[in-house]
Chains A and B, each alone.
Chain A
């Protein structure tokens, strides 16, 4: 299992569009993935779960990925966070 701390830096936070992107990226991997923030752990492949985290800009989230392709999945998610979910700002 891999664990990584990420910071939500995009301006709008994990709102519907960013969440949809995250879920779409993860759906390409077989590994199980969760996000933890504010003491709550949710299925990172669930758009509802992630939206329910209500992680705004500046929130730290812990990504946990477990499975055969965990390294690639972890990289893909980290890169999405770093790119601010491609919001261009």
Chain B
């Protein structure tokens, strides 16, 4: 019988398939005991599962990089602590020993006991931590039964479950799951963000589906509208096919944009650069017709290892990026490490009281002169192979730029004397992400060749709002009059000086914000290649003249709501 449910679309795509139901881990475990002689074996079984999960999480942690490392990594770290928690472990061992319960049931008892306490808490934030415990216990259950392997049978199915951890999502996709429907969750969750970046259709908050769907039921899931239909009728199938065609057509149109310019309806060319940190990113950027690399992160060369990369290794990595872009401009950022990044080289200070305000970016580079010189020498050598410029992160004053420039000049002379072919004049630019740098820009803009506005950190520092602190909710948002004004001022000043200026934060890669950035005067954006075509499409729907006329209204906006209304008005309807 046909039943339909209204969830919230969290990641696009219309999918028709069979349901694969995964009940909440802890709920489908019934009371079971082991024989007295098997207690030790059961304890072994539990601890092997714990070791397996620990290894899995470690493995995932190693594979994460870029934005995901910060976002998902924090959860993994919390989960790793929970996994080794004496409260959890001692309780489990005691239950198995004294109650002779199976490991599965002991886990369920522990989960229920903890859930009972968490659920009685007043604090919504703490209450929601039971989700973290559930995810850890769910992983343990899966490891006890090698259930991850069992889900292999879900290839070609739609997973219906209560919640999905960010770390599980990639595994499901690898196993061939077509789409995911969850009864809980939010489109703002890390899982949803990850689903969008993996192009895995996702509907969240579809209450009731879990109770009604059975394995093998035919489902239609629409990741845009959030609609889920069990046993669809002829009209549903027709609607799904129409939706599918529409999405395919959109994808084709988007795909065709690879060879199109990023030009507004009135002929203003917007230069779309790519943010990159891997060979794949560079190849994709090139294939999509990016104007160049606007931000190449060098941290990945330094993370997840114990020894620093030497000059030759760095040189080869940078040279390959330059070669990969075949003469287009490549912007390489010097090391932007801080105590918040998981480096093992021992470069960044451990236990800094406040990593965001600590020894990071250019501060760290200048504090470790050998580190800076090695990187600059590698960059200068790579400049002989194409167009390269150096971007300096976390600049807060003129002195820092002058210090880097002095090293660039000295090392250039040294390298030439050694017989290396290097660029005649290496452009050096600054990330504008510390409010002080934006405000004091007139004092040192003469020492810069180009600018890149790092909105992620600029917003965090300007609004004194940690972007990873969920308790702050919407306080962290680029849609604040102070942010808009500061960005506009930086852009104006740079343009008056004839210097290139780009925005390279997350906001640049969000097609919805393209009209806003253009209205603030930006003509260069740097974004992850996976979002380049969508932003190009948005740009091609904008009229610069109309946006320029409306830019005053944008800067007059007094609050977030007005800015959002401005955007809603300005936005060409992006399907």
Contact = CB atoms under 8 A, between A and B. Distances in A.
Contacts of A43: 86-87
Interface in A48-73: 48-49, 51-52, 54, 56
A52 B118 contact: yes
A70 B194 CA distance: 44
A37 interface: no
Contacts of A83: 353
A20 B77 contact: yes
Interface size class of B (residues with CB under 8 A): 20 to 34
A63 B129 CA distance: 24
B14 to A, nearest CB: 36
Interface in A12-51: 12-13, 15-16, 20, 23-24, 42-43, 45-49, 51
A71 to B, nearest CB: 19
Given A48-B88, A52-B117, A13 B123 contact: yes
B87 A48 contact: yes
Residue of B82, B118, B354 with most partner-chain A CB within 10 A: B82
Given A12-B471, A86-B354, A48 B82 contact: yes
Interface size class of A (residues with CB under 8 A): 20 to 34
B494 to A, nearest CB: 31
Contacts of B87: 42-43, 46-49, 52
A16 B132 contact: yes
A23 B354 contact: no
Nearest to B74: A17
B125 A20 contact: no
B132 A45 contact: no
B470 to A, nearest CB: 10
Residue of A24, A49, A51 with most partner-chain B CB within 10 A: A51
B151 interface: no
Contact of A47 (B82, B126, B471): B82
Interface in B119-141: 121-123, 125-126, 129, 132-133
A12 B125 contact: yes
Given A54-B122, A86-B354, A20 B78 contact: yes
B357 A88 contact: yes
Given A16-B132, A20-B77, A83-B353, A48 B123 contact: no
Nearest to B352: A86
Contacts of A51: 118, 126, 129
A48 B85 contact: yes
B327 to A, nearest CB: 45
Contacts, number: 57
B402 interface: no
A61 B88 CA distance: 22
Interface string B516-558: 0000000000000000000000000000000000000000000
B198 interface: no
Given A54-B123, A56-B123, A23 B357 contact: no
Residue of A15, A45, A47, A86 with most partner-chain B CB within 10 A: A47
B114 interface: yes
A62 B190 CA distance: 36
B81 A47 contact: yes
Given A45-B86, A52-B117, A54-B126, A15 B471 contact: yes
A15 B82 CA distance: 14
Nearest to B125: A15
Contact of A48 (B114, B122, B357): B114
Contacts of A45: 86
A47 B87 CA distance: 8
Contacts of A52: 87, 114, 117-118
Interface string B68-83: 0000000001100110
Nearest to B75: A16
A48 B125 CA distance: 14
Given A12-B471, A54-B123, A47 B85 contact: yes
Contacts of B117: 52
Nearest to B354: A88
Contacts of A48: 82, 85, 87-88, 114, 133
Interface of B: 77-78, 81-82, 85-88, 114, 117-118, 121-123, 125-126, 129, 132-133, 353-354, 357, 471
Given A51-B118, A54-B123, 5 more contacts: A48-B82, A49-B85, A49-B86, A52-B117, A86-B353
26 contacts: A15-B126, A15-B471, A16-B78, A16-B125, A16-B126, A20-B81, A23-B81, A24-B81, A42-B87, A45-B86, A46-B86, A46-B87, A46-B88, A47-B78, A47-B81, A47-B85, A47-B87, A48-B87, A48-B114, A48-B133, A49-B86, A54-B121, A54-B122, A83-B353, A86-B354, A88-B357
